[in-house]
Amino acid sequence: MNRWLVPALALALIAASAASLLAGTVWLRPQDVLAAIAHPSDDLPGLIVLQIRLPRVLLAMMIGGILGLSGAVLQGLLRNPLAEPGLLGVSAGASLGAVIAIYYGFSASFSLASPLFGLAGGFVTASVAFLLARGGGTLALILAGSAVTAIAAAGTEVALNLAPNPYAAYEIMNWLMGSLADRGWDHVRLAAPFIVAGGALLLATGPALDVLALGETQAESLGVAVGRMRLIALIGTALGVGAATAVAGAIGFVGLVAPHVVRPLVHHQPGRLLLPSALTGALIVVLADTATRVMRLGGPPINLGVLISLVGAPFFLWLVLHVRTRTA
């Protein structure tokens, strides 16, 4: 089972991504998609596949992957199954940055303004959290992260409260709910370098995370530089999750749930969890984004972040109960 886990998840991800290219308001046949990719043209299927669905599915994979990866790394680093990528203040900071761009109308004049402001916001909060926690241990980092999160969230609420008109408030709300609608190649090009770099840093912590299962003192005694590893995890999360939030808005639960889904399948080893958790996160977001396009509840399309919370929260509850009855 263990040996086949990563190939099986990769296959499932490829299948889900392929299905995602077919599904939507306009349903395409597989041969249309293949033709559009093989011979790019300006006909309708070509435009839909290359300009709308392909960048969107790539973003869904990258964002889900980095959220699942970061969640697995942070749960291993903090040895706490409730840790998630938002813990260090990166998501709240990226949200605040993007909200500022919407509030002052930058995003109306320049479409990449909110992701760029979001990136900057994520990096600023991560740096502040790190400076506050400098010299302290892991607990100091969590506390600094939650303090910074609270400050950024307050800033976002101020923006909502003082929004110049209902339309701006609606736009901010909509952005905060997380979505991949209307994201294109510009967003892919903006987010990909940060997500890839952050992902590489996070993956590099794997072997040390295994040893950290023995606690920080024993890990130090076994040659793990715990302080340096904490810094690598923070930078990796700031780069990757900062970019993901900047592009798609706040998407919760993926980083929390993905590691739990695969943890029993890797025998609870924190280091072995990373790649399967990233693939699971990617799978969740690709499936959820496809669902938001297919589902029509009469009104406007349901947002990605909302759908994931709607399904993710009860699933997480079930998982907690299930794990408890099995291990007790």
Interface with another protein, residue 222, by CB under 8 A? yes
| Among positions 105, 111, 218, 320, the unique one binding another protein when judged by CB under 8 A | 218
Instruction: Indicate which single residue of 136, 193, 215, 314 sits in contact with another protein (rule: CB under 8 A).
Output: 215
- The angle, 0 to 180 degrees and rounded to 10, between the axes of the packed helices 185-204 and 113-133 is 20
Asked if 220 touches another protein (CB under 8 A), the answer is: yes
71 touching another protein, by CB under 8 A: no
Contact 241, 198 (CB under 8 A): yes
CA–CA distance, 152 with 279 (Å, rounded to integer):
30
Positions 22 through 51 that interact with another protein (CB under 8 A): none
- With CB under 8 A as the contact rule, which of the stretches 44-52, 106-114, 141-149, 211-219 interacts with another protein? 211-219
In whole angstroms, give the CA distance from residue 27 to residue 36. 14
Residue 197 burial (CB < 10 Å; 0-12/13-18/19+)? middle
Q: What is the dihedral of CA 100, 106, 107, 112, to 10 degrees?
A: -100
Q: Which is nearer to another protein, 224 or 286 (CB)?
A: 224
Q: For residues 256 and 75, what is the distance between their CA atoms, to the nearest angstrom? A: 9
Pair of tokens at residue 273? 């969890």
Q: How far is the CB of 198 from another protein (least distance, A)?
A: 20
Which residue's structure tokens are 């869904």?
60
**322 lies in the site for another protein, by CB under 8 A:** no
Distance CA(278)–CA(206), nearest Å, equals 13
Distance in Å, CB of 223 to another protein, minimum: 3
Using rule CB under 8 A, residue 231 touches another protein: no
Minimal distance, residue 256 CB to another protein, in Å? 16
- Binding to another protein (CB under 8 A) within 161-200 occurs at none
Residue 3 touches another protein, criterion: CB under 8 A: no
**225 binds another protein per the rule CB under 8 A:** yes
Q: With CB under 8 A as the contact rule, which of the stretches 45-53, 209-217, 233-241, 274-282 interacts with another protein?
A: 209-217
68 and 254 Cβ atoms separated by less than 8 Å: yes
Tokens encoding 217 = 């003192």
Query: Which helix (H) or strand (E) is 250 found in, with range?
Result: none
Residue from 29, 189, 268, 296 binding another protein (CB under 8 A): 268
Interface with another protein (CB under 8 A), residue from 22, 269, 310, 319: 269
d(CA 323, CA 116): 40
The minimum distance between CB 209 and another protein, in angstroms, equals 10
Residue 146 beta carbon to another protein: minimum distance, rounded to whole angstroms: 21
Residue from the set 24, 79, 132, 177 that interacts with another protein by CB under 8 A: 79
Return the range that interacts with another protein (CB under 8 A); candidates 24-32, 141-149, 167-175, 213-221. Answer: 213-221
DSSP state string for 104-151: TTHHHH-TTHHHHHHHHHHHHHHHHHHHHHTTS-HHHHHHHHHHHHHH
Binding of residue 214 to another protein (CB under 8 A): yes
Using the rule CB under 8 A, which residue among 2, 41, 111, 221 binds another protein?
A: 221
Alpha helices in the chain (DSSP H): 2-22, 30-38, 44-47, 54-78, 90-103, 106-109, 113-133, 138-161, 166-176, 185-204, 206-212, 216-221, 226-248, 254-262, 274-294, 304-327
Region of 31-39, 137-145, 159-167, 222-230 interacting with another protein (CB under 8 A): 222-230
| Shorter beta-carbon distance to another protein: residue 206 or 255 | 206
Q: Which residues bind another protein (CB under 8 A)?
A: 79, 207, 210-211, 213-215, 217-218, 220-225, 267-270, 327
